[in-house]
Amino acid sequence: MLNIGDTVARISHQQDIYFHIDEIHENYNGETSAILKGLNLRLLADAPLSDLICKSPAEVANYERVDNKMIYQKLHKLTSQRKTDEQDEREFFEIPGRVLQLDGDQDYLNQCLKTYRQMGIDAKGICKSEKEQPKVIRKILQENPTDILVLTGHDGFISGKRDFHSMDSYRSSRYFVESVREARRFQHNRDNLVIFAGACQSNYEAILSAGANFASSPKRMLIHAFDPVFIVERIAYTPTDHIVSVKDILTHTITGTDGIGGVETRGQMRRGYPRSPY
């Protein structure tokens, strides 16, 4: 018997992705289905209970171990590159860009905030559902000044849909688009407020057109929960007089150019002089 909160995989997809069961519904035909949230991918999906298999604690631990190894490798590469960049700048001190993240998933948000802290980035997180984000974003920006805004949660291209441009084909893309538009009404300059928005399979073109600097997903691919964090790290630690290389920044993500894309953007780190001995 499957229950809300169980970790499962879809038999029809060769059990490739692990999910938490978020909701269970019964339709008018008496068929029972579940709303699923990706364990490490920002994907919202649905499936009949008959297509789901419960994963054991050992299987989940192994799945997370493989994922954590991949995350560690990316973080190590980022911090190593930053140390190399800093070698000739030791007499300066650095103030990386501030981050504000709205996320529809509290677990993902907590993981992201922990990683920001590990990387020395001043970050604040607020959990708001994808649907709530457009309604509150301007007020939140007024109360929480920031350099980088991250709008994330869960999304997905709805099974059976054909039109990749229609908002009706996506679970949450319309909310990301509306949130970016509202944020741009507050601050129209893409260098004064850098925005990343989107989740798995989101309407990339629409989100960028609304005013985001970076978005998902060019090829409607699944993106990793930490992909926004890796993008943000590069922006936060790139000096304000430098343009972030779009091609370079995407090599630091787990998904790569299939899942994330963007436009040329100025860095948000300010250097100071002299460095205090204290």
Give the pLDDT score at 43: 85
> What b/e sequence results for 38-58 when a residue is b if at least 16 CB atoms lie within 10 Å of its CB, and e otherwise?
bbbbbbbbbbebeebeebeee
Give the pLDDT score at 127: 97
Give the pLDDT confidence of 153-184 residue by residue, as tens digits.
Answer: 999 999 889 999 999 999 999 999 999 999 99
Asked whether the beta carbons of 48 and 27 are under 8 A apart, the reply is: no
**pTM for the predicted model, two decimal places:** 0.85
Give the pLDDT score at 278: 83
Work out the pLDDT band at 117, boundaries 50, 70, 90. Answer: very high
Higher pLDDT, 43 or 104: 104
pLDDT at 87 over 60: no
Percent of the chain with pLDDT over 70: 95
pLDDT at 88 over 60: no
Instruction: Kindly give, in sequence order, each residue whose CB lies less than 8 Å from that of residue 123, ignoring residues fewer than 6 positions away.
Output: 98, 99, 100, 101, 112, 113, 116, 117
How many whole angstroms separate alpha carbon 153 and alpha carbon 134? Answer: 13
Work out the pLDDT band at 277, boundaries 50, 70, 90. Answer: confident
Give the pLDDT score at 9: 94
How many whole angstroms separate alpha carbon 170 and alpha carbon 202? Answer: 7
pLDDT at 86 over 60: no
Give the pLDDT score at 40: 85
| φ, ψ at 25 (rounded to 5°) | -130, 155
Higher pLDDT, 140 or 74: 140
Asked whether the beta carbons of 168 and 142 are under 8 A apart, the reply is: no
Give the pLDDT score at 103: 96
